[in-house]
Structure 1
């Protein structure tokens, strides 16, 4: 049997089983036809983050940031550009700590930007502070399977 991943649709939050070999082929949701792995980081809220952590099997890297944070704004284009470098191996997402302060508190975010990598609902790595493109790529490669 071919190995597969469970992906949560960013639009309708339906669970989708995708063969691992097809993760780089722009898979779509079976329910609403939305791209399951868009070319930009997902914008999270508490509900979507919880659903991803509970059901998704692809490792998730969340950028905890805020609109007023200079280093967050500086790192945002670098984080967005990293999506196609890790497509099919990691899912990248962003959570605005200003808008979702309870989620930030739940994950003990003390400084921003903070990147947290999750796999199957558990935190597996954390990195605080803005990273250069090279540093970010190196950190993401250490997480990619």
Structure 2
């Protein structure tokens, strides 16, 4: 295993190499200066989604949602809490399926909210429905075999 990971900047799409030993130090994008591992949820577009899910070497959990969806809006603060708890281990993002409907058909999304965990270009697992932060954290830890 390499001592550095590739991360797509979720703000400008630039690929960055970050030493594993420095993941917890708040690395920033070399191009735009945006935080790469902030422990926050990033709102992304289709191009950023495709690049990050295909090339990133740190897991990314993506929330597929829509603004008209009550359970999606209800889960948003829980998703943000899980992002803070797993900072440095998994990145968190969300994509609006109403703005990018092609993502739903491409990924076979039949209902929202839907969380999909990606790692090294592969879908690892799906978690449908609105979930509390503790359940989201457990889902990620179990699938990635991270210590509690």
Q: Same fold (TM over 0.5)?
A: yes
Matched, 1:103 2:109: no
- In structure 1, distance between residues paired with 2:2 and 2:130: 38
Provide the secondary structure at the position in 1 that maps to 2:30: coil
What are structure 2's unaligned runs of at least 5 residues? none
Provide the secondary structure at the position in 2 that maps to 1:24: helix
Matches within 5 A, 1:37-48: 37-48=37-48
Q: How many residues end up aligned between the 2 structures? A: 145
Provide the secondary structure at the position in 2 that maps to 1:23: helix
RMSD: 1.5
Provide the secondary structure at the position in 2 that maps to 1:64: strand
Query: Which shifted more, 4-13 or 74-83?
Result: 4-13
CA contact (8 A) 2:60 2:92 kept: yes
Provide the secondary structure at the position in 2 that maps to 1:6: strand
* 1:6-44 residue CA offsets vs partner (Å, 9 max, x unmatched): 111122211111111211111011122221123421111
Q: 1:25 to 1:143 in 2, by over 3 A?
A: farther
Provide the secondary structure at the position in 2 that maps to 1:18: strand
TM-score, normalising length: structure 2: 0.91
Deviation at residue 126 of structure 1 after TM alignment: 0.4
Provide the secondary structure at the position in 1 that maps to 2:134: helix
Deviation at residue 2 of structure 1 after TM alignment: 6.0
